[in-house]
Amino acid sequence: MTGKTRSRSGSVTIRDVASLAGVAPITVSRVVNAPASVKAATRERVLAAIAASGYMPNLVAGALATNRSRLVAVLVPMLTNPLFADSYQAVAERLAQAGYQVLLGVTGHDPEHEEALLATILSRRPDGLILTGVDHTPASRARLKAAGVPVVETWDLSAEPIDQGVGFDHEAVGALLAERANAGGYAQVAQVAVDDPRGTRRRLSLSRALATLGIAETAPALFTGLPSLEQGRQALCQLLAQTKVRPLLVVCTSDTLAHGVLTEALAQGLAVPGDVAVIGFGDMAFAAHTLPALTTIRVDATALGHTAAELLLARLAGSDGEPQQRDLGVDWIERGST
């Protein structure tokens, strides 16, 4: 390759790229529309020719010709949570390797907003969708079923999946937390939560398991919106006003809330875990570096995102087997806050 090649019209064409790369025009088309179908060495040579020539493929025309948009829509509740960001990055990287572009939507934990996003996104004819959670409006479920494209639901497991799924059992997490509370000898447990459906499922499961074990539970501190340090601090003040039992085990539906609880406990001069013990959820990067380090539930967000992408790519490659539900499980991470 010695430089740019242009047609007489002045714009670079697929034939120009083919000539520069020493391949047939159909090979260039395959690299653009189905890169996985081209040998790696040839693909790299064509991509180098595309870069050197400045060629801009007409993806709209390609989509019409192949009935494939090369777009995958990914819906997440928020980007401020590192777990969702890590999961999304894993999805985007794997899909990019397979030649797909990602169309991102943020739902804000709102099923009605998800419904509106899906109506817009499906009109763009994506090749597939990766969704967060399994709690959709009836209209969303009907629309997704009618669309006839692969769907992967993530971060949860469903008894009635739309198509594929990867996540973990939130009710089992609640039961695990109760077991740990019992093993730790805690006589009183309090919960701090925001109103997202998966956190609510864990919270209610923990409450049921505590009742079965005969462990007392203080009324939970509940918040709306995204979890914050401020909410965690407010929650501990509220909980301490309700009970004098020490140590009080505070279980939070996110590490962010737990960090706020730890901060308020230290501000009030309370011993952790002597007066207040704290458990988070997620094992975010900061959890190992709080004072004391935070006991939490670890979720491998990167593995979850990668698995979601692989399930979708298998469907896009023609796999039409029974819907799969991949349970990745969680890990208990014991640190100094309990």
The H or E element containing residue 260 is helix 255-267
170-298: same fold as 14-65? Answer: no
CATH topology of domain 69-168+301-328: Rossmann fold (3.40.50)
Burial of 91 (0-12, 13-18, 19+ CB in 10 A): buried
Burial of 322 (0-12, 13-18, 19+ CB in 10 A): exposed
pLDDT recorded at residue 34: 75
Q: Which residues of 209-231 are buried (b: 16+ CB within 10 A; e: fewer)?
A: bbeeeebebbebbbbeebbbbeb
0.85 surpassed by pTM: no
Q: Which residues of 185-200 are buried (b: 16+ CB within 10 A; e: fewer)?
A: ebebbbbbbbebebbb
pLDDT recorded at residue 202: 98
CA-wise closest residue to 256 among 192, 181, 300, 302: 192
Helix axes 82-97, 301-316, angle to 10 degrees: 30
CA distance 298 to 301: 9
| Domain extents in the chain | 14-65, 69-168+301-328, 170-298
pLDDT, tens digit only, all 338 positions of the chain? 444 454 444 588 889 889 999 999 899 888 887 787 889 899 999 889 888 888 877 655 555 455 567 899 999 999 889 999 999 999 999 999 998 999 999 998 899 999 999 999 999 899 999 999 999 999 999 999 999 999 999 999 998 999 999 999 999 999 999 999 999 999 999 999 998 899 999 999 999 999 999 999 999 999 998 899 999 999 999 999 999 999 999 999 999 999 999 999 999 999 999 999 999 999 999 999 999 999 999 999 999 999 999 999 999 988 777 788 999 999 999 999 99
Give counts: helices (H), strands (E), the chain: 12, 13
CA distance 161 to 336: 39
3-state SS, residue 152: strand
The two structure tokens encoding residue 240: 């301490």
For residue 295, which amino acid is it? T
Helix axes 138-147, 111-122, angle to 10 degrees: 20
CATH number of 170-298: 3.40.50.2300
CA distance 131 to 35: 25
CA-wise closest residue to 335 among 297, 301, 304: 297
Sign of CA dihedral 306, 161, 252, 210: negative
3-state SS, residue 305: helix
Q: Domain 14-65 is in which class?
A: mainly alpha
The three-point CA angle 76-81-85 to 5° equals 60
Burial of 154 (0-12, 13-18, 19+ CB in 10 A): buried
pLDDT recorded at residue 68: 65
CA distance 281 to 312: 27
CA distance 303 to 86: 9
